[in-house]
Amino acid sequence: MFDFIPASAYSSVFYNLILVLCIFKCVQINSQNRILYFLICIFLVLFIGLRPISGYFGDTSNYAALYAKMQESGSFEWSKEWVFNGLMFWFANSGFSVHIFFLFVESIYIGCTAWACSRLFKNNGYLAFLMVVSAFSFYTYSMNGIRNGMAAAIVMLAISFLNTSKVVAAVFAFIAVNIHNSMILPVLSAICCLFYNNTKFYFIIWGCSIVLSATVGGTMEAFFASSGLVDDNRFAAYLTNKDNMHLFSNTGFRWDFLLYSCVPILLGYYFFIKKGFRDKIYLFYINTYILSNSFWILVIRASYSNRFAYLSWFLYGIVLLYPLLYCNDLNQRSTKIRWALLGNMGFSYFMWIAY
d(CA 72, CA 70): 5
pTM metric for this prediction: 0.91
Condensed to tens digits (0 to 9), the pLDDT of residues 61-75 reads 999 999 999 998 877
Are 6 and 51 in contact by the 8 Å Cβ rule? The answer is no
E-state strands within 67-168 = none
Residue type for position 108: I
Of 217-221, 286-290, 328-332, where does mean pLDDT reach its minimum?
A: 217-221
Condensed to tens digits (0 to 9), the pLDDT of residues 124-178 reads 999 999 999 999 999 999 998 899 999 999 999 999 999 899 999 999 999 999 9
Residue type for position 345: M
Name the 3-class secondary structure at 314. Answer: coil
Among the listed residues 320, 212, 345, the one whose alpha carbon sits nearest the alpha carbon of residue 267: 320
**Cβ-proximal residues to 192 (8 Å cutoff; 6+ apart), any chain:** 291
Which residue ranges make up each domain of the chain?
1-179+332-347, 181-314
pLDDT at 75: 76
**Cβ-proximal residues to 101 (8 Å cutoff; 6+ apart), any chain:** 67, 87, 88, 91, 92
- Three-state DSSP string of 225-262: HHHCCCCCHHHHHHHHCCCCCCHHHCCCCCHHHHHHHH
Phi and psi at residue 241, to the nearest 5°: -75, 120
Per-residue pLDDT band at 243 (split at 50, 70, 90): very low
Own/partner contacts of 170-177, CB < 8 Å, gap of 24 or more, are: 175/83, 176/151, 176/152, 177/151
Among the listed residues 307, 256, 315, the one whose alpha carbon sits nearest the alpha carbon of residue 287: 315
- DSSP 8-state secondary structure symbol assigned to residue 81: T
- Checking if the pLDDT of 322 tops 70, the result is yes
Condensed to tens digits (0 to 9), the pLDDT of residues 65-118 reads 999 999 988 777 777 789 999 999 999 999 899 999 999 999 999 999 999 999
Burial class, 262, CB count within 10 angstroms (exposed 0-12 / middle 13-18 / buried 19+): middle
Condensed to tens digits (0 to 9), the pLDDT of residues 169-227 reads 999 999 999 999 999 999 999 999 999 999 999 999 999 999 988 887 666 666 655 54
Per-residue pLDDT band at 244 (split at 50, 70, 90): very low
Q: How far apart are the first and last CA of the chain?
A: 27
**Interhelix angle for 333-354 vs 10-27, to 10°?**
170
- Checking if the pLDDT of 245 tops 50, the result is no
d(CA 344, CA 135): 6
d(CA 51, CA 68): 17
d(CA 270, CA 169): 30
DSSP string over 30-50: T---HHHHHHHHHHHHHHHHT
- DSSP 8-state secondary structure symbol assigned to residue 57: G
Task: Give the residue, 234 or 121, on which the prediction is more confident.
Answer: 121
d(CA 150, CA 113): 9
Are 21 and 40 in contact by the 8 Å Cβ rule? The answer is yes
pLDDT at 133: 98
